[in-house]
Structure 1
Amino acid sequence: MKARVTVMLKTGVLDVQGEAVRRALGTLGFEGVEAVRQGKVIELDLAATDKTAAEAEVAAMCEKLLANTVIEKYSVEIA
């Protein structure tokens, strides 16, 4: 199975990298960009065959390592 984890900063947390990208886009002539939020995508190849068990395992990975749940939120997709 494959899992895709998307990690983003929670609403209200200052996204310094996103703001830097927004400013850089403006200097390149892309004036219509009002806000940018930057995150990360993590793709995992899993040995699991049960989708429910795989989701639970990946959620545990996120809680323990892949996301800083104090300031980040995550979503998990299993395929």
Structure 2
Amino acid sequence: MYLAKIYVTYKPSILDPQGEVIKAALKRMDYVGIDQVAQGKYFEVKLNAKDVDAATAEVESFTDALLINQNTETYRFDLSLVSDEVDV
């Protein structure tokens, strides 16, 4: 079983209005060293796949199809092998 941690953000050419609001609020709070704030989405997906290549292909496929707006967003992800034991 694999765990995909998927990070979605706006493409560099797209204005991030929530990031700009957060940046302005931080400056009003006297955090003067803040140059940029990027706001995004985070997903964790556990999936069964025969190997890392199959897991990678599946994550790319469903992320492109469902989790992002391809016109405005980009993503990256990390894959890790996890046991299927239940946490108590």
- TM over 0.5, shorter chain: yes
Structure-2 residue corresponding to 1:48: 49
**Residue 6 (1) aligns with residue 7 (2):** yes
Q: After the TM superposition, which of the residue ranges 29-38 and 11-20 deviates more from structure 2?
A: 29-38
CA distance in 2, matches of 1:26, 1:70: 30
1:66 deviates by 0.6
Q: Determine helix, strand or coil for the equivalent of 1:19.
A: helix
**Residue 25 (1) aligns with residue 26 (2):** yes
1:49 deviates by 3.6
CA distance in 2, matches of 1:21, 1:57: 34
Structure-2 residue corresponding to 1:62: 63
TM-score normalized by structure 2? 0.83
Paired residues, number: 79
Structure-1 residue corresponding to 2:86: none
1:32 partner letter: G
1:55 and 1:76 in contact (8 A); partners too: no
Q: Once the two structures are aligned, what percentage of the paired residues are identical?
A: 37
Consecutive unaligned residues of structure 1, counting only runs of 5 or more, are: none
TM-score normalized by structure 1? 0.92
Q: Give every structure 1 segment of 4 or more consecutive aligned residues whose post-TM-superposition deviation is greater than 3 Å.
A: none
Q: Determine helix, strand or coil for the equivalent of 2:33.
A: coil
Q: Write out per-residue CA displacement over residues 12-49 of structure 1, whole angstroms, 9 at most, x where no aligned residue.
A: 10000000000111111102212111112111111224
